[in-house]
Amino acid sequence: MQHCVHSAPGRRTFLVRSLAAAGLTGTVPVAPLAATGLAVGNVTGLYPVEVARIATPRSTAEVSALLKSWPGRVAVGGGRYSMGGQVAVQAGLHVDMRRMDRLVWLRPDERAARVEAGMRWRDLQDHLDPLGLAVKTMQSFSNFTVGGSVSVNAHGRYVGHGPVGHTVRALQLALADGSVVEVDAETDPEVFRAAIGGYGAVGVITEIELDLAENVHIERVVEALPLERYLEHFRTRVLADPRAVLHNADLLPPAFDAPVSVTWVRASADKALTETARLVARGRSYGLEQNVIWAATELPGGPSLRRKLVHPLLMGKPVVKWLNHEASLDVAELEPRTRAMSTYVLQEYFVPERRFLGFARAMATILAAHDVEALNISIRHSPADRVSLLPWAREDVFSFVLYYKQRTWASARKSVGRWTRELIDAVLRHEGRYYLPYQLHATPSQFDAAYPEASVLRRVKARIDPVGKFSNELWRRYL
Ligand SMILES: Cc1cc2nc3c(=O)[nH]c(=O)nc-3n(C[C@H](O)[C@H](O)[C@H](O)COP(=O)(O)OP(=O)(O)OC[C@H]3O[C@@H](n4cnc5c(N)ncnc54)[C@H](O)[C@@H]3O)c2cc1C
């Protein structure tokens, strides 16, 4: 067999495997946590998961062979940017997809591509850019794998696009018994819809067929306005503008009441590029950005640094660039010099348009009451999700992406749990939902209230994965 398997030899590993093998009848067993020394981490450095084995397949056939031979639970990982153990299950097999990163085909005339699921957006952009093409919908950064993005049904700043699932034409899936199936919205709609935004619950996505878009010149338009005017501004100046390509608005501490709206509109032909690079270079160093983040969170008066310094700079400077350049940002620009004592974490909440103002105020009140070290809240908009079985947008929504700093010790983690549950209660009161790729602080009843469709996902899973082979720490807690 070709796939590369890392396993820590020794008595404890053997014990884990024997326990896993022992319960083959009925549901897949969960072995008690044994110290295998194989931890699967995530970008924050918090909440690593100890697994029995890590495999890095290079082909669909290897994924299928792994699923047939591994007797215990299986979790799948992409770029590992989710933050609460979504990519791994205790004492299980972790399938690391990052070596399955090839382009399967690219059809410029059809504006479509098929990729292996472990490919990162940035790698796909290298193929698309010379042909004048762009990814249609992706997150704000390009480091994520396509498989991980489809599995959380990610979104970006694209005006009017909604989640990435809207751009998925078909999926190849390896199922619990090792069989490989091709699914789309017609052939097996239930499984297709369960895999998109399903966090690896129904199978390993091995290949993905995607719609593409045109790479165009875009120009930045920045405007500061009061919170009360934002909704109208978004409707009339952003959504109604056919030139609008990307949009978000920043809310800054301490009051989070003065959005700075940043819209990238399609630039007219006579506008010269102010940034001529077509893509953000790989491996750049981000010392300045790191210093700004450090100063904003560690120095007295730091929280007002962005409002006083960074935003005026944004507003003063016209920028015209390629869409692919803005879409190929590297998460390294957010990476602090160390995450030993504190780390940077995300959360996200979605509310219907009519509840925008009420939730914005409730969120600011909770953050202030708990002295949360929030760096920024980024507001975006999404039309209703038409695809996923577990949608974060049942209707058109605004999203609030919170970026905050937290200390790493146990009492700090507990405190984050407390205010996160308050934010989840607030979003539920505002008929909204919270996003699932982040830390697992929600109670099971909060999860059920936010995602009542989970019962349908449970039913589909019971049909195609009756022993519950696919799991991870998210699904162990909530599904
Ligand atoms: C700095 C930063 C910025 C972010 N910005 C955004 C944003 O703008 N918009 C947004 O929507 N999200 C955003 N996120 C969240 C991000 O989209 C998710 O964490 C996403 O899952 C990351 O992709 P990944 O490749 O790291 O997936 P992973 O974290 O590796 O996996 C995520 C989930 O998908 C499953 N999975 C992965 N690959 C497969 C596969 N091949 N088959 C089946 N299941 C699979 C995993 O089991 C896991 O449950 C951001 C995160 C960070 C850290």
Residues 147-198 pLDDT 10s: 999 999 999 999 999 999 999 999 999 999 999 999 999 999 999 999 999 9
Instruction: Check if 97 has its Cβ closer than 6 Å to any atom of ligand 1.
Output: yes
Residues 262 and 154 in one domain: no
* 60 HSE (CA, 13 A, CB side): 19
pLDDT band at 309 (very low <50, low <70, confident <90, very high): low
- Which pLDDT does position 340 carry in this prediction? 83
Percent of the chain past pLDDT 70, that is, above it, reads: 90
Pocket lining: 163 vs ligand 1, CB cutoff 6 Å: no
Asked whether the predicted pLDDT for residue 30 surpasses 50, the reply is no
Mean pLDDT on 316-332: 94
Same domain, 129 and 56: no
Shared-domain flag, residues 148 and 166: yes
Question: Does any domain span residue 451?
Answer: no
Instruction: Give, using CA atoms, the residue closest to atom 51 of ligand 1.
Output: 81
**Domain for residue 449, yes or no?**
no
With a CB cutoff of 8 Å and minimum separation 6, the contacts of 438 are: 82, 83, 84, 345, 346, 347, 348
Q: Which pLDDT value is given to residue 28?
A: 45
Task: Give pLDDT tens digits for 86-118.
Answer: 999 999 999 999 999 999 999 999 999 999 999
> Which atom of ligand 1 has the smallest separation from the CA of 164?
11
**Total of domains in the chain:** 3
The Å distance, Cα 84 to ligand 1 centre, comes to 11
Query: Do 274 and 231 share a structural domain?
Result: yes
Whether 197 lines ligand 1, by a CB cut-off of 6 Å, is no
How far, in Å, from the CA of 199 to the mean position of ligand 1? 9
pLDDT at 287: 81
Is residue 199 one of the residues assigned to a domain? yes
pLDDT in tens, 285-303: 888 777 777 777 777 677 6
- Say yes or no: 416 and 426 in one domain: yes
pLDDT value of residue 306:
67
- Which residue out of 81, 381, 478 has the highest number of ligand 1 atoms within 8 Å of its CB and is therefore the one to mutate? 81
Nearest-atom number in ligand 1 for the CA of 118 is 41
Q: How many residues does the chain have?
A: 479
- In single-letter form, the type of residue at position 4 comes to C
Same domain, 339 and 278: yes
CA of 229 to the centre of ligand 1 (A): 33
Q: How far is CA 102 from the centre of its chain?
A: 21
Q: Which residue owns the Cα nearest ligand 1 atom 19?
A: 82
Higher pLDDT, 22 or 473: 473
> What pLDDT sits at residue 31?
40
Q: 87: closest CA among 57, 48, 123?
A: 48
Same domain, 55 and 119: no
Among protein residues, the one with the nearest Cα to ligand 1's atom 52 is 81
- Residue 146 beta carbon below 6 angstroms from any ligand 1 atom: no
Distance 437 CA to ligand 1 centre (A): 7
> Is 153 domain-assigned?
yes
* 450 within a domain of the structure (yes/no): no
Residue 24 has pLDDT above 60, yes or no: no
User: Considering the entire predicted model, what is its pTM?
Assistant: 0.93
Q: Give me the pLDDT at residue 25, please.
A: 32
Question: Do 85 and 125 have their domain in common?
Answer: no
Find the helix packing angle between 410-429 and 356-369, rounded to 10°.
160
Contact at 8 Å (CB) between 78 and 206? no
Is residue 458 a part of any domain in this protein?
no
Is position 452 within any domain?
no
User: Is the confidence at residue 22, as pLDDT, over 60?
Assistant: no
Supply the pLDDT for residue 9: 36
Which residues span the domain enclosing 158? 103-215
Higher local confidence (pLDDT), 290 or 44: 44
- Ligand 1 binding pocket mutation candidate from 49, 76, 122, 173 (most atoms within 8 A of CB): 76
Q: Is residue 61 part of a domain?
A: yes
